[in-house]
Amino acid sequence: MHTQGTIRRWDSAKGFGFIQGAHSSNVFFHVRDYRGATPPAEGMRVEFEEIQVGGKGPRAMAVRPLGARAAAPAPARAGRPAPAQPATRRRTAPQARDNTPAGASLAMGLMLAWLALLAWGSWAQRFPLWLLGAMAGLNLVTYVSYKLDKSAAQSGGWRTSEKQLHLLALLGGWPAAWWAQQWLRHKSSKQEFRVVYWATVLLHCAGLGVLVVRPDLLPI
């Protein structure tokens, strides 16, 4: 859908921002989808193609500053037909690949293994039943913490420390943290944060494996 809007937020360091559109208030776009001669800036009026990415909200493609048009071709001379312009191909398949989160296959596999290990440990009485409820509550708290921190980042409010987010992931809230990073687009492009996050995932899974072998280490 072709529409117009205003850039309401732009992060030049990370190369992405959000557009206030006519139909959507928070349209994501990346610098690779920008087609202007001057760099994007907050308050700039733009036109774009709005698409819907499943589960991630609207996204802007082919973003151009208003008034930025390709120069019209010069009129052909009499008796000499104008050369045919080659048809441009729509970028469909590459965009679909760009929308796949990095490490998605690894994260999904670890989540399934994590759930299976918790279920088996409870069934085999390696873990107390309250551990399942604690993990569910911890993941809910983790997702809410990411959501509140995302809202604070946009409004300039009180932020949740990265140490606290990492601690929640280490204790077992890492699945909700991964989904929050993808759905909320929060902390998903900060490389230093991602490295520490994956370290907490590995440490938690290793610790859970130890508790399966030595359930007596778990305080009851």
Residue 74 has pLDDT above 50, yes or no: no
The pTM assigned to this predicted structure is 0.52
Token pair in block for residue 135: 């993990």
C-alpha torsion 17→22→25→26, nearest 10: -30
Band (pLDDT 50/70/90 cuts) for residue 50 is confident
Integer Cα distance of 27 and 140 in angstroms = 26
Instruction: Give 122's contacts (C-beta < 8 A, 6+ positions apart).
Output: 128, 129, 131, 132
* Tens-digit pLDDT profile for residues 110-125: 999 999 988 888 888 8
Which one of 3.40.50.720, 3.40.50.360, 2.40.50.140, 3.30.70.20 gives the CATH number of domain 1-67?
2.40.50.140
Q: What are phi and psi of 27, to 5 degrees?
A: -90, 120
Residue whose C-alpha is closest to residue 65's, from 37, 30, 97, 29: 37
At 175 the pLDDT is 93
At 91 the pLDDT is 53
Residue 150 has pLDDT above 70, yes or no: yes
Integer Cα distance of 150 and 185 in angstroms = 9
How do the domains of the chain map onto residue ranges?
1-67, 104-217
More confident residue, 84 or 36: 36
C-alpha torsion 191→139→182→49, nearest 10: -150
